Amino acid sequence: MTTLFPCERVDVSFTESAPYRFTNSVDLAITPEQVFEVLADAGSWPRWASVITNVTWTSPEPRGVGTTRTVDMRGGIVGDEEYLVWEPFTRMAFRFNSCSTKAVGAFAEDYRVEVIPGGCRLTWTLAQKPLGPAKIAMFVVRPVLNLAFRRFLANLRRYTDERFAVTPQG
């Protein structure tokens, strides 16, 4: 069993005030309902966020504020998450309540969906407060991390294009 260390129980405002924030957007050719379908699907996360290897919902449906899940990531990192916001088809946000590394002091993500012509725009903010030597590492690798996060959103676009492809009727 993985040992987990408590993280600071931040609220959603942490995504606006964290020492390290990464905000990126992607335009998707799907509806907000379809975006939420993907985000609620545990099996979809490893398909577009390649750092994630497994997602397990640990709360029964229906999903909402207080819903929990466990996320396994590459490098053996495990995070126990709790949803802080669940506004169907417009916004969801969660934080880590605990993590398998002491390097994470606080961590939260915020997903906002807005309708645009031809689909919707997903804006993703990832916020964190590293501890100890991870503070220095985060400062150094910040540009590379942001590139990775933008790549995840490009992967999401490819995934949703495939998942919701419209086949011609013939």
Query: pLDDT per residue over 55-98, tens digit each?
Result: 999 999 999 999 999 999 999 999 999 999 999 999 999 999 99
Instruction: Give the whole-angstrom CA distance, residue 148 versus residue 160.
Output: 18
Structure tokens at 78: 């495990």
- Decide if 168 is inside a domain: no
CATH number at residue 74: 3.30.530.20
Q: Which residues pair with 17 in a beta bridge?
A: none
Output the pLDDT for position 64: 96
- Decide if 170 is inside a domain: no
Q: What SS3 state is found at 74?
A: helix
Q: Which of 77, 100, 110 is nearest to 4 (CA)?
A: 100
Reported as a single tens digit per residue, the pLDDT across 28-42 is 999 999 999 999 999
- Given a cut of 80, whether residue 170 has pLDDT beyond it is no
- Given a cut of 60, whether residue 105 has pLDDT beyond it is yes
- Decide if 169 is inside a domain: no
Output the pLDDT for position 166: 78
Reported as a single tens digit per residue, the pLDDT across 2-25 is 899 999 999 999 999 999 999 999
The whole-number average pLDDT for the span 118-126 is: 98
- Given a cut of 80, whether residue 168 has pLDDT beyond it is no
- Given a cut of 80, whether residue 169 has pLDDT beyond it is no
Q: What SS3 state is found at 134?
A: helix
Confidence class of residue 129 from pLDDT cuts 50, 70 and 90?
Answer: very high
Instruction: Give the whole-angstrom CA distance, residue 126 versus residue 94.
Output: 10
Output the pLDDT for position 1: 75
Q: What is the span of the domain harbouring residue 94?
A: 5-163
- Decide if 32 is inside a domain: yes
Number of domains in the chain: 1
Maximum CA pair distance of the chain?
Answer: 61
Output the pLDDT for position 167: 72
Report the mean per-residue pLDDT for the chain.
96
